[in-house]
């Protein structure tokens, strides 16, 4: 019954994808990243209803003033920063735990058992690539674009994955496509949601 569980996560992603365009951007994102004061106030009113949000707006302006001189670090600079090592270690442990991910799908795809550990390692590497890529582009595109794009890609990949698993007995090459689709799903998840 794993395919029902897989379909359920696709349904939840589809529901979120349908409703996401109706929500405004985050007020801190609009003010701090886009420097859109009017958009920030409009988003506050849309999210929290009519009212006076001058205090919250002033707090965001103070945060903007504090972070004005702060340089945004790239991935290599973050890796050199000792103060983030505990968080990096936690993230790496989570990535390493992905090695057990998808074993049932890999067995369903009739992969040789000796290949499954290497495929699981590929899953972990895909997750790492997606995290690095997402952290590099999130400031440029914004969270909303990445969420919408990620959910659309995930929905498409889940449909293709289901088809490749159903037709895998008839076409042997589809078994390997399902593994590639799992890698792509993980990358789309890491970049988007």
Q: Which two tokens stand for residue 171?
A: 């076409």
pLDDT of the residue at 103: 56
Residue written as tokens 């379909």? 7
Q: b or e along 159-187 (b: 16 or more beta carbons within 10 Å of the residue's beta carbon)?
A: ebbbebbeebeeeeebbebbbebbbbbbb
| Per-residue pLDDT tens digits for 70-129 | 676 777 888 888 888 888 887 777 666 555 555 566 666 666 777 777 777 777 787 778
**How many CB atoms sit inside 10 A of residue 93's CB?**
9
More confident residue, 40 or 2: 40
What does the alpha-carbon distance between residue 189 and residue 37 come to, in Å, rounded to a whole number?
Answer: 31
Q: At what angle do helices 2-19 and 143-166 cross, to 10 degrees?
A: 150
**176-184 average pLDDT score:** 83
Query: Which pLDDT value is given to residue 101?
Result: 52
The percentage of the chain sitting over the pLDDT mark of 90, rounded to a whole number, equals: 1
Statement: residue 145 has pLDDT above 80: yes
Round the CA-based radius of gyration of the chain to a whole number and report it.
21
pLDDT for position 122 = 78
Where is pLDDT greater, at 34 or 70?
34
CA distance 107 to 18: 33
pTM of this prediction?
0.50
């Amino acid at each position: 019954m794993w395919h029902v569980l897989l379909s359920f996560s696709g349904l939840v992603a589809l529901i979120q994808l349908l409703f996401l365009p109706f929500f405004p951007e985050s007020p801190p994102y609009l003010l701090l990243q886009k420097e859109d004061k009017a958009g920030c106030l409009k988003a506050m009113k849309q999210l929290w209803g009519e009212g006076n949000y001058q205090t919250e707006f002033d707090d965001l302006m103070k945060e903007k003033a504090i972070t004005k001189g702060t340089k945004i670090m790239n991935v290599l600079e973050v890796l050199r920063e000792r103060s983030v090592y505990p968080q990096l270690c936690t993230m790496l442990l989570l990535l390493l735990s992905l090695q057990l991910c998808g074993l049932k799908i890999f067995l369903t795809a009739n992969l040789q058992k000796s290949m499954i550990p290497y495929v699981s390692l590929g899953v972990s590497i895909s997750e790492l690539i997606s995290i690095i890529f997402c952290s590099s582009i999130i400031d440029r595109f914004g969270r909303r674009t990445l969420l919408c794009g990620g959910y659309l890609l995930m929905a498409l990949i889940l449909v293709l994955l289901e088809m490749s698993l159903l037709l895998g007995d008839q076409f042997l090459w589809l078994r390997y496509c399902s593994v590639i689709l799992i890698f792509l799903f993980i990358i789309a998840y890491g970049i988007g949601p």
